């Protein structure tokens, strides 16, 4: 029985198709279309006559013929052009297949945090190396006051896959980035012992995180903050140190939760209207700056976190002393608070007394 020896073309086609997961028949059909397009560049073929033309491609030898209604009309020297076109199509198919595999892999990792490094800038967008692939940070997903430069390493959140452009979209401003960073830094969050109920943030300025634990003996806030704040500081450092992060105890009671959400402010009285989803907060005037925060950030984030419209008003009748926050000064403190003039007069009087005492003696 004769042994059929396969050509280099067939061996290369099948080897690459096997290694890259590309169907050889699909590649050959694509090659035929590309070869016919190459023929039309140098030969006039009216669109109405296009159906009369076909390409014959030998799967074993790679030999190519252009047929018109079954008749060979291959131009002299066209084999070299056909071979070059076939090579380009084959490489293109391989690249497309590899990109498909990468897209499939990262589509399963949507919602996770990965480490990246800035490769280049395309207008206002940033291209980031995230390992096996390149991802894009759109202008809307950047932190406005963060500095970006080539080779900068940073953590990014895999947001979605842009099917139209076939690009992996990542973010630095998404609230879920903070959640992912906490899962990386806090074992209790990663194991599920501490649950992150909600994260709200104004990227580059401030964020609030509501945490909760059903397991007794676990302090959810303390677990996230860590000893001397090391865990939450690691999250802040991953955000370039730009954001202040408040970790808040979640509570099913909206009154208590809103009070917690407005921390670090204290001495609050909260009234809730469930119909309008409005919370009216009364507090001593001294506490208003803390409640409102810088440019209204604190109350704005607390409103997003609690999902209530928070209205704040100062109450003259409420003072920090009424809540037991202030304490009466001790005798030592009173002495320290005396004016220099008062202390000097006491000292002068003492000298006069000494002088009179000496005279009497």
In a domain, 360, yes or no: no
Query: What is the distance between the alpha carbons of residues 87 and 85, in angstroms, rounded to a whole number?
Result: 5
Query: What is the distance between the alpha carbons of residues 265 and 125, in angstroms, rounded to a whole number?
Result: 39
In a domain, 346, yes or no: no
Q: Check residue 317 and give its pLDDT.
A: 63
Looking at 200, 220, 250, the residue that finishes a domain is 250
Q: Check residue 334 and give its pLDDT.
A: 38
Instruction: Clarify whether residues 233 and 256 are in a common domain.
Output: no
Tokens read off for 81: 């052009």
Instruction: Clarify whether residues 264 and 240 are in a common domain.
Output: no
Find the domain containing 200 and state its range.
175-250
For residues 212 and 197, is the Cβ–Cβ distance under 8 A? Answer: yes
Instruction: Clarify whether residues 88 and 19 are in a common domain.
Output: yes
Instruction: Clarify whether residues 262 and 292 are in a common domain.
Output: yes
Q: For the chain, how many residues are written?
A: 361
**Residue 41 vs residues 10, 57, 293: alpha-carbon distances, Å:** 27, 19, 68
In a domain, 119, yes or no: yes
Q: Check residue 171 and give its pLDDT.
A: 97
In a domain, 344, yes or no: no
Looking at 235, 250, 265, the residue that finishes a domain is 250
Query: What is the distance between the alpha carbons of residues 61 and 9, in angstroms, rounded to a whole number?
Result: 6
CB atoms within 10 A of CB 76: 5
Query: What is the distance between the alpha carbons of residues 157 and 130, in angstroms, rounded to a whole number?
Result: 10
Q: Check residue 324 and give its pLDDT.
A: 39
Query: What is the distance between the alpha carbons of residues 236 and 255, in angstroms, rounded to a whole number?
Result: 29
Instruction: Clarify whether residues 169 and 186 are in a common domain.
Output: no
In a domain, 354, yes or no: no
In a domain, 259, yes or no: yes
Instruction: Clarify whether residues 275 and 319 are in a common domain.
Output: yes
Instruction: Clarify whether residues 14 and 100 are in a common domain.
Output: yes
Tokens read off for 40: 């039309």
Bridge-based pairing of strands 153-162 and 269-273 is unpaired
Instruction: Clarify whether residues 260 and 242 are in a common domain.
Output: no
Q: Where residue 121 sits, what CATH number does that domain have?
A: 2.40.50.140
DSSP 124-152: TEEEEE-SSSEEEE-GGGS-TT----TT-
In a domain, 89, yes or no: yes
Instruction: Clarify whether residues 94 and 147 are in a common domain.
Output: no
The residues of the chain scoring below 70 in pLDDT are 1-7, 16, 19-22, 316-361
Instruction: Please tell me the total count of domains within the chain.
Output: 4
Q: Where residue 316 sits, what CATH number does that domain have?
A: 3.30.300.20
DSSP 8-state code for residue 330: -
Q: Check residue 164 and give its pLDDT.
A: 87
Query: What is the distance between the alpha carbons of residues 80 and 76, in angstroms, rounded to a whole number?
Result: 10
Q: Check residue 56 and give its pLDDT.
A: 86
Q: Check residue 196 and give its pLDDT.
A: 95
Q: Check residue 82 and give its pLDDT.
A: 75
Looking at 158, 173, 188, the residue that finishes a domain is 173
């Amino acid at each position: 029985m004769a042994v059929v020896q396969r050509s280099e073309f067939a061996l290369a086609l099948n080897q690459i198709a096997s290694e890259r997961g590309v169907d050889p028949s699909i590649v050959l059909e694509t090659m035929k279309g590309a070869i016919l397009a190459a023929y039309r560049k140098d030969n006039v073929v009216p669109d109405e006559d296009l159906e009369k033309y076909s390409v014959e491609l030998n799967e074993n030898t790679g030999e190519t013929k252009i047929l018109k209604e079954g008749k060979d009309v291959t131009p002299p020297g066209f084999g070299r052009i056909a071979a070059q076109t076939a090579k380009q199509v084959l490489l293109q198919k391989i690249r497309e297949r590899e990109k498909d595999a990468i897209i499939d892999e990262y589509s399963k990792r949507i919602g996770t945090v990965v480490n990246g490094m800035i490769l280049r800038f395309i207008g206002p967008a940033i291209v980031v190396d995230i390992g096996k692939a390149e991802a894009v940070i759109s202008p809307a997903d950047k932190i406005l006051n963060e500095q970006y430069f080539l080779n900068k390493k940073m953590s990014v959140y895999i947001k979605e896959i842009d099917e139209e452009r076939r690009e992996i979209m990542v973010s630095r401003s998404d609230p879920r980035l903070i959640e992912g960073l906490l899962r990386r830094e806090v074992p209790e969050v990663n194991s599920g012992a501490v649950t992150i109920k909600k994260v709200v943030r104004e990227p580059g300025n401030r964020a609030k995180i509501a945490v909760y634990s059903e397991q007794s003996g676990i302090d959810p806030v303390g677990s996230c903050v860590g000893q001397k704040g090391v865990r939450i500081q690691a999250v802040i450092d991953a955000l370039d140190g730009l954001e202040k992060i408040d970790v808040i105890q979640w509570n099913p009671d909206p009154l208590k939760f809103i009070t917690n959400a407005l921390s670090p402010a204290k001495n609050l009285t909260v009234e809730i209207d469930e119909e309008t989803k409005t919370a009216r907060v009364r507090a001593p005037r001294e506490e208003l700056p803390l409640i409102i925060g810088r440019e209204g950030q604190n109350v704005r984030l607390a409103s997003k976190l609690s999902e209530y419209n928070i209205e704040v008003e100062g109450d003259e009748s409420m003072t920090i002393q009424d809540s037991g926050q202030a304490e009466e000064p001790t005798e030592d403190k009173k002495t320290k608070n005396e004016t220099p003039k008062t202390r000097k007069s006491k000292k002068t009087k003492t000298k006069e007394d000494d002088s009179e005492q000496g005279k009497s003696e």
